[in-house]
Structure formats: C-alpha cells, structure tokens
C-alpha cells in the first residue's frame, strides 16, 4: 500500500469530497422543506451539516480503498510525538481566535460596507436547552473535527506539502477556507487552517488537529448559545474596537508563536542541538559550534531569542528548516504535475464567488 500522495492527487481527493458533499446538500434540499425547524435551526441545516461530514469520510475512505493508500500513514492517525502536546490543544484554539477574530470582524465590516448580508453566516441553534446544546456540539463541533481534518489536514496538506512545506500550509488553508463557500467565514477559516496545518506538522498527529478544531467550534457554539454578551461587547466598545482588536491580534500572535515553540521543543526529541561523530554540538539558531560540556539551555531565553528572530530573514529560514524536518513527507518539489492543484483552486474560487455574488444580489 502506498504511504504518500502527491499534490495533484490530494487535490483530486479534495474535489471528489467537495462534489460529494455538494450533491448531497442539493439532494436533501429537495427532500426537506426549508420552513421546518428544530431547536431554533432549520432541520435542513441539521441534516446538511451531518451528511456533509459523512460525505467527506466516505469520499476519503473509498478513494483510499480504490487507490490502495495506507490511510494511517498518510493521514498520520497516531498519537503526537509527545503526549504532553495534547495539553496545548485548547490554548492553541484560544490563541487562534484572539488572532483571527478581530481580522474576521474587520472583513465583516468591509462586507457590510459593500452591502453583503453578513447575517448569512453559519446557521446556529437558538435557546439554552441543554439537549440542543449537546446535539449542536456533536453535529457542529465533533463531526467537523473528524471529517474535515481527515480530508484537509490528513490528505490535502500531505499532498500539497510534497512541493514544499509553506506551499502545503498556505494552500491547504486556502482550500479549507474556500470549501466552506461562506464569504463571512473566509478570513477566520483561513487562519484556522494555517494554525492546524502547522500544529499537525509539529506534532505529527491528526488527533491533535482534531482536538484544536473541536475546541475552536466548541468555544464558538458555547459563546453563541450561553454567553451572547461576549458578542455584544464589540458593539458597546464602538470606536475603540480597533484598539482592542489590535491588542487581541498582537497578544494572540505572541501566544501562538509561544505555543508552536513549545510544540516544536516537545516534538523534537533531539532538541536544538546536534552531536556529531567528533563530539561537537551545534546550535542551529546561532550556527556556531560549542563543546558538549559547555552546553546550557534556557527555554525562556531561547524563546525570546527565537521570537526576535522572526523579524529577520534568518528566523524564517530556521522556521522553514524546522517545519520541513518535522513534516515527514516525501518532497517532490516542482517536478511533480501541478495541473490538478490549479484546477481544484480555480473550481474552489468559482464556488466561493458563486456564493458571494448570490449573497450580493439577494
């Protein structure tokens, strides 16, 4: 069984899953009346969310069976390199929200200016019924965490990153954002996609991104159903939104970098230092050689040193080296066929534009 896929093949899997989900959505929209509601949300939406994830699961598993893919190896369905990495999952979700929620709100403000109906976001149940709340968590947090992660981080990221690691991270995040076909969500979904791609690479585990995805949706659903006052704060702040938003983005970026730094340290059992046959230990950050007995590490100092390096080209080069080493895929570079990627991207953009234009002309 094959343990790797290329960029075009991962794009094919993506398109097959997207088409399957779209066809199912179209089919159930013909069967279920739009005016029937349950728990403050249309039955059509409840069923649609559920069957969409089922379509993702079925598409990936059937394709893997037909093409004889080693699902466990390709999707990295295994525990993280260090079990302690699991503890960081909810904090990564919170930091991601801190960074991208203000940016998403700025995007929504732009949509309001051009007359796009921003109320057409994700359908959410209403009221504080506990049963409805747990059903919403299952349908809108647990199922997407498994279905979308198996497809996007398990397969799409794997294939796209065989070109290079940043291409995989950014392009898979773009596909993830576009596939939701919801202009209101575009910015936040892209940011979430980048975060989860890096998380998977640094931990080597799909279970880690499943947890981050779940916590992201869990926080959103809980705030919407039980703590709506949080959403009202932005309205009450008025013109001070830009200040609080900027502070949230800066704090969130700092926390995300810190969390990724910790994930990297926990996941790299060899640490920052490499021992050669001659007994010399190399510090990759400063590119200097020091004697083994003089090696001293200070995690706090190392982090701030690394954070400062991100304002320099050398810091990003080092980050690329770390991500490339941790990614564990067979890099094929530009030599591999990429036509499938560009077709998938073009169709995804067309899918998104259709939703966007439809919203404008309603």
pLDDT tens per residue, range 184-221: 999 999 999 999 999 999 999 999 999 999 999 999 88
Return d(Cα 264, Cα 326) in angstroms, integer.
9
What integer pLDDT is reported at residue 289 of this predicted model?
42
What integer pLDDT is reported at residue 296 of this predicted model?
55
DSSP of 32-96: S-TT-EETTEEHHHHHHHHHHHHHHHHHHHHHHHHTTB-HHHHHT-S--SSGGGGGGHHHHHHHH
What integer pLDDT is reported at residue 105 of this predicted model?
85
Residue with the larger pLDDT of the pair 334 and 312: 312
Q: Is the pLDDT of residue 70 over 50?
A: yes
Closest among 119, 315, 254, 219 to 246, alpha carbons compared: 254
Q: If you average pLDDT over residues 228-243, what whole number do you get? A: 57
Q: Which two tokens stand for residue 211?
A: 């947890």
The full length of the chain comes to 362
CA dihedral of residues 193, 198, 199, 202 (deg, nearest 10): 160
What integer pLDDT is reported at residue 291 of this predicted model?
42
What integer pLDDT is reported at residue 62 of this predicted model?
96
Q: If you average pLDDT over residues 54-68, what whole number do you get? A: 95
Helix (H) or strand (E) holding 252: helix 241-267
When pLDDT is cut at 50, 70 and 90, the band that residue 298 belongs to is confident
Number of H helices, E strands in the chain: 15, 5
Q: Is the pLDDT of residue 242 over 50?
A: yes
Residue with the larger pLDDT of the pair 294 and 74: 74
Closest among 155, 162, 129, 150 to 52, alpha carbons compared: 150
Q: Which of 59-63, 117-121, 152-156, 200-204 has the lowest mean pLDDT?
A: 117-121
**335 phi and psi, to 5 degrees?**
-70, -25
What integer pLDDT is reported at residue 179 of this predicted model?
93
- 290 SS3 class: strand
Report the DSSP beta bridge partners of residue 274.
282
Residues of the chain with pLDDT > 70, as a percent, come to 87
Q: Which of 17-31, 126-140, 236-250 has the lowest mean pLDDT?
A: 236-250
DSSP of 307-333: HHHTTSHHHHHHHHHHHHHHH-----G
pLDDT tens per residue, range 93-149: 999 999 998 898 889 888 888 888 877 567 778 766 888 889 999 999 999 999 999
Q: Judge contact between 136 and 226, C-beta under 8 A.
A: no
What integer pLDDT is reported at residue 273 of this predicted model?
41
């Amino acid at each position: 069984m094959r343990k790797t896929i290329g960029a075009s093949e991962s794009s094919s899997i993506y398109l097959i899953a997207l088409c399957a989900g779209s066809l199912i959505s179209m089919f159930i929209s013909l069967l279920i009346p739009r005016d029937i509601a349950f728990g403050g949300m249309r039955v059509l939406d409840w069923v649609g969310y559920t069957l969409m994830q089922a379509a993702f699961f079925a598409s990936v598993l059937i394709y893997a069976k037909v093409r004889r893919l080693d699902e466990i190896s390709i999707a990295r369905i295994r525990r993280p390199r260090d079990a302690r990495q699991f503890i960081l999952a909810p904090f990564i979700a919170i930091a991601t929200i801190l960074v991208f929620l203000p940016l998403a709100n700025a995007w929504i403000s732009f949509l309001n200016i051009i007359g796009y109906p921003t109320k057409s976001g994700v359908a959410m149940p209403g009221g504080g019924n506990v049963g409805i709340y747990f059903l919403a968590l299952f349908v809108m947090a647990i199922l997407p965490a498994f279905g979308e992660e198996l497809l996007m981080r398990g397969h799409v990221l794997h294939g796209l990153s065989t070109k290079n690691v940043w291409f995989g991270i950014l392009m898979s995040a773009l596909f993830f954002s576009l596939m939701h076909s919801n202009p209101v969500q575009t910015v936040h979904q892209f940011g979430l996609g980048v975060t989860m791609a890096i998380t998977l690479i640094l931990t080597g585990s799909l279970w880690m991104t499943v947890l981050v995805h779940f916590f992201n949706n869990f926080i959103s659903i809980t705030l919407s159903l039980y703590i709506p006052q949080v959403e009202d704060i932005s309205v009450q702040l008025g013109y001070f939104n830009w200040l609080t938003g900027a502070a949230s983005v800066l704090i969130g970026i700092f926390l995300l970098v810190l969390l990724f730094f910790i994930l990297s340290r926990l996941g790299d059992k060899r640490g920052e230092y490499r021992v050669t046959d001659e007994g010399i230990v190399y510090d990759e950050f400063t590119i200097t050689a020091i004697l083994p007995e003089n090696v001293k590490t200070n995690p706090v100092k190392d982090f701030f040193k690394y954070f400062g390096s991100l304002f320099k080209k050398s810091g990003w080069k080092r980050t690329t080296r770390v991500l490339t080493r941790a990614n564990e895929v067979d890099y094929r570079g530009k030599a591999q066929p990429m036509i499938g990627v560009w077709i998938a991207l073009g169709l995804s953009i067309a899918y998104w534009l259709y939703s966007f234009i439809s919203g404008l002309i309603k």
